[in-house]
Amino acid sequence: MLPMIPAGNAREQGRMAEAGRVGSVLVYVGGDLVGDGLMKLPVLRALRHAWPDAHIVWCAGKFRTAFAHELRDLVAGLVDETIEEAGFDRPLRLLLRRPLGGRRFDVVIDTQRGVPVTALVRRIRHGVFVSGAADFLLSERRPPRGYTRPESMAGQLLDLVALASGAPARADADLSIDPASREAAAKALPDGPRYVGFAPGAGGRHKCWPLDRFIALADAQAGAGRVPVFILGPDEADRVAAIRAGAPSAILPASHPGDGPPVSRSAAFTIAVGRRLAAAVANDAGAGHLLAAADAPLVSLFGPTRAAKFAPAARRLEVVAAQDFGSDAMEAIPVDAVAVALERLVQPDARAG
């Protein structure tokens, strides 16, 4: 985590003194698909922690952002306004007039690193401008000498928040979970038992640890007196029968009980379930990022993708990577290795049941 950044000159010192009175913050991205948005949830939480009273604007300069659509309800209270397709794909127009109709923001954070676009984003009227493009060449705040950029996307963006706010980024502002999702999760997982979650899905099956190994691990957890909980996405209904046969004590909570197979169609419901888990195991996929956003201790499984870049920003994280067992294939990860990592998270009473 990036330490507090010292002011470099008198003008910067004045800006740092004004940090407590920031009224508006704009974050620039090119665009966000749903997967991008899930990985960026810690950034939104850190923004709201840094500026609890500011008007926070998320600007997708070229495309759409999932924060205005699929994830809108989840980030209510973290983002006050979204702007989409803001014209940064038509640079000549922005050279003739100020972007965003001349609006001014106390802080502008540019998350992309293309220098031509950064030069345009810098034209947004602002008090403080922060960008990592060209090793912070155009940024009005820079990291200390010797700074090394984190490999993870979330880590890089959290460092930009730290630079802009002048304090370490803390991704602990609350996400907006609607009462219906909280109540459904509490009904599915009542207080008392210690629940351990399993999210066996991913966008591509090549990123999935074999289902029979998830089931074996869940059955072992049941033998240890814990209750396994399987979190399934809308495209994983075909896995229900195998889970019920192999781990009969497992709970398969549904965001819409009685409406077809027990799958979750709601990010808020998945987070509400995650908040009731002692720990969880997930592939490199959206469900893992949602469980991390729930602050559940997490074992994250990696094969063809790089953990250093894509690992969820969980507060307590154990990564088990196929590369450590001589292959990029998820099948290379043995059950025992995941079981040991899971036990490290569950045993120290990481969370109440």
Asked if 113 and 30 touch (Cβ cutoff 8 Å), the reply is: no
- Is 223 strand, coil or helix? helix
Question: How far apart are the C-alpha atoms of 210 and 313, rounded to whole Å?
Answer: 24
Band (pLDDT 50/70/90 cuts) for residue 21 is: confident
Amino acid present at 329: A
Is residue 264, in this structure, part of any structural domain at all? yes
Amino acid present at 145: R
Is residue 316, in this structure, part of any structural domain at all? yes
User: Domain boundary at 131, 165, 199, which?
Assistant: 165
Phi, psi of 46 (to 5 degrees): -70, -40
Whether residue 191 is found in the same domain as residue 268: yes
User: Nearest CA to 283 among 340, 346, 223, 331?
Assistant: 331
pLDDT at 264: 74
Model confidence at 351: pLDDT above 90: no
Model confidence at 179: pLDDT above 90: yes
Band (pLDDT 50/70/90 cuts) for residue 12 is: very low
Is residue 89, in this structure, part of any structural domain at all? yes
CATH number at residue 124: 3.40.50.2000
Model confidence at 329: pLDDT above 50: yes
Whose tokens are 């691990």? That residue is 217
Taking only the tens place, the pLDDT of each residue in 260-277 is 667 777 899 999 999 999
Whether residue 64 is found in the same domain as residue 113: yes
Whether residue 56 is found in the same domain as residue 91: yes
| Percentage of residues in the chain having pLDDT higher than 70 | 91
Domain ranges, residue 340:
179-346
Model-level pTM? Answer: 0.86
Whether residue 114 is found in the same domain as residue 220: no
Whose tokens are 């998945």? That residue is 270
User: Nearest CA to 42 among 70, 1, 84?
Assistant: 1
pLDDT at 277: 98
Is residue 3, in this structure, part of any structural domain at all? no
